[in-house]
Structure 1
Amino acid sequence: MAADPPVFRFAPSPNGLLHLGHAYSACLNADLASEAGGRLLLRLEDIDLARCPPALEAMLLEDLAWLGIDFETPVRRQSEHFDDYRAALEALAEEGLAYPAFMTRGEIRRFAAASAQAEGRAWPADPDGAPLYPGLDRTLPEAERRTRIAAGEPFAWRLDMAAALRRLGAPLRFIETGGGKAADVVAEPALWGDVVLARRDVPTSYHLSVVVDDALQGVSHIVRGRDLLPSTSVHRVLQALLGLPAPVYRHHDLILGDDGLKLSKSRGDTALQTLREAGLTPADVRRMVGLSGEAPASR
């Protein structure tokens, strides 16, 4: 029996103009899918509806069409699948692995600063530089949780990372091919502490939704920027807890600006729309990001 073709995906957030970094990731996914005789999906990660208006989505789709990338349809929009993420969250909560946490980001920062001052050492931070959640709400009585939620107090659902790792036992691993050859990498999810899984007003987070989506869409190969490599450790935990398959990963180098910093959607000079209006072609863009001017032919 023939093996299923590999499945790749490009998953941008339509909250700003696509730039050269997005073009590189999209084109690289398309090239690898073509070379492998695989499928290529487009997913719009628009869980933050306030920052992802229809106009920006339309501009994103226009940019991708201009690049000449052929994605399968229909496009998956995360905002249309909140029930999928809610079901995954409920499964974790029922297992005692997720809990409502009421400390705001500001309160966490103040707690971290006070603790650092009292103990004379820095409060630990996650790989993104944010102070780790101290876990003060992890053991709140259930009655108090219900009362505070009923009163409308803001909260987030967090993963009890220590409990999750005890449940899983052996260290988790993933296959990383970004260095030119496959490497067996040991995940380090504890570095993230009790990550956010959802908020009161949005029933998911990036970590939870991306794991659920990749499984539901049958994604076998995840090709994305190196800045997301640390997040893979969290994703492996959620995959293992939810009984989902682990894709193969490739975290590519980032396209940097003249200042050496990662590109952002606020930088208009690298926006594909700006480059297109200046008369550049898709082949020019491919060469600018280090790819050949012509995409490989499908096998």
Structure 2
Amino acid sequence: MPPVFRFAPSPNGYLHLGHALSALLNFEAARASGGRFLLRIEDIDGARSRADYEAAIYEDLAWLGIAWEQPVRRQSEHMSVYGEAVQRLQQAGLVYPAFESRADITRLVAERERQGPWPRDPDGAPLYPGAARTMDADARAALITSDAPYALRLDTAAAVARTGPLSWQEQGTGPAGETGTMVATPERWGDVIVARKETPTSYHLSVVIDDALQGVTHVIRGQDLFWSTSVHRLLQGLLDLPAPLYRHHPLVRDEHGRKLSKSTHATSLRALRAAGLTADDIRARIGLPRA
């Protein structure tokens, strides 16, 4: 079977140079290996996803000379598949509802930190500080009946106990040059969210399900997602999903050394094209040879 690569952007803003690097690396790896290249639209966030951003993704990729198989998988069209996976985790007793708002979590972390530093995940966010995992069953049922909002969190300690040690094969490098056989450490993330009451999935859950269903064999993405692979390997182990080979590439950074991000309004490919740059100019900016 030929190798399968994918590029999976979210339509919540315009693509920037970092996206161009990931897309081109995947497309060219597929072409060099005689493999397949898939485009997936990760639009589970209905509040932020927009049709015009999705249309711009297609336009920008075509301008870069990238072609992809049809049809494009759009996550919003497959929510029932993710919901079935959540049910499996629930039936195994591996998820629990947590009812704290973001403001509640901020307050709880501040209370914990009065006693000393509170642990944080590899992205720098504080680990979940609540006690919902051990909440009285009647109190939990009452909150659910009251229609209170909640997030479904993975009981990571129980999940790790079920899967045992996990690892992945890294063909690129991590932020500190890590490569080769990597030991997964999902416990560093605490009890991550796998779904919400109003959305039956999360990025972590949907990405591993889609990679498996689409037969993805190679995942090439930025180093900012290197340690997220630990969570992905845990979910793959729990759901009996295959593990692709992973390759994490260095990030494209701005003049201040910060990674490019939609949230920081990094200059878009659309704006660079309007300023007169060519697709070859983009390749040169991200360190790839001209076509």
TM-score range normalised by the length of the shorter chain? over 0.9
Output the CA distance in 1 between the equivalents of 2:146 and 2:19: 42
1:133 is displaced (CA, Å) by 0.9
> Which whole-Å deviations, capped at 9, do the CAs of 1:100-146 have from their partners, x for residues lacking one?
111122212211211221x2x11111112111113401122333322
> Which whole-Å deviations, capped at 9, do the CAs of 1:219-242 have from their partners, x for residues lacking one?
000000000001000000000000
Q: Percent identity?
A: 57
Output the CA distance in 2 between the equivalents of 1:181 and 1:189: 16
Output the CA distance in 2 between the equivalents of 1:66 and 1:83: 34
Q: Which amino acid aligns with 1:122?
A: P
Partner of 1:6: 3
- After superposition, where does 1:53-202 map in structure 2 within 5 Å? 53-117=50-114, 119=115, 121-169=116-164, 171-179=165-173, 183-202=180-199
Output the CA distance in 2 between the equivalents of 1:210 and 1:124: 26
Is 1:23 aligned to 2:20, yes or no? yes
Task: Give the conservation status (yes or no) of the 8 Å contact 2:150–2:196.
Answer: yes
Output the CA distance in 1 between the equivalents of 2:263 and 2:229: 26
Output the CA distance in 2 between the equivalents of 1:282 and 1:122: 47
Which runs of no fewer than 5 residues in structure 2 stay unpaired? Answer: none
Output the CA distance in 2 between the equivalents of 1:181 and 1:122: 27
1:255 is displaced (CA, Å) by 0.4
> Which whole-Å deviations, capped at 9, do the CAs of 1:129-173 have from their partners, x for residues lacking one?
11111340112233332221121111000000010011112x110
Q: What TM-score, normalized by structure 2, do the two folds share?
A: 0.95
Partner of 2:39: 42
Output the CA distance in 2 between the equivalents of 1:100 and 1:114: 22
Q: What TM-score, normalized by structure 1, do the two folds share?
A: 0.93
Partner of 2:228: 231
Task: Give the conservation status (yes or no) of the 8 Å contact 2:219–2:244.
Answer: yes
Task: Give the conservation status (yes or no) of the 8 Å contact 1:9–1:41.
Answer: yes
Output the CA distance in 2 between the equivalents of 1:166 and 1:30: 38
1:192 is displaced (CA, Å) by 0.3
Task: Give the conservation status (yes or no) of the 8 Å contact 1:135–1:194.
Answer: no
> How well do the aligned residues superpose, as a CA RMSD in angstroms?
1.5
Output the CA distance in 2 between the equivalents of 1:193 and 1:61: 36
Q: Which amino acid aligns with 2:218?
A: H
Output the CA distance in 2 between the equivalents of 1:137 and 1:270: 41
Secondary structure of the structure 2 residue equivalent to 1:157: strand
Moved over 3 A (4+): 179-182, 266-269
Output the CA distance in 2 between the equivalents of 1:58 and 1:267: 21
Task: Give the conservation status (yes or no) of the 8 Å contact 1:46–1:77.
Answer: yes
Which of 270, 273, 296 is 2:270 aligned to?
273
Secondary structure of the structure 2 residue equivalent to 1:49: coil
Distance 1:182 1:260, change over 3 A: closer
1:181 is displaced (CA, Å) by 10
Distance 1:237 1:267, change over 3 A: closer
Secondary structure of the structure 2 residue equivalent to 1:50: coil
1:266 is displaced (CA, Å) by 5.0
Task: Give the conservation status (yes or no) of the 8 Å contact 1:20–1:289.
Answer: yes
How many residues align structurally? 288
Which runs of no fewer than 5 residues in structure 1 stay unpaired? Answer: 295-299
Is 1:208 aligned to 2:202, yes or no? no
Output the CA distance in 2 between the equivalents of 1:273 and 1:231: 29
Output the CA distance in 1 between the equivalents of 2:195 and 2:178: 35
Task: Give the conservation status (yes or no) of the 8 Å contact 1:97–1:164.
Answer: yes
Secondary structure of the structure 2 residue equivalent to 1:251: strand
1:64 is displaced (CA, Å) by 0.9
Task: Give the conservation status (yes or no) of the 8 Å contact 2:14–2:56.
Answer: yes
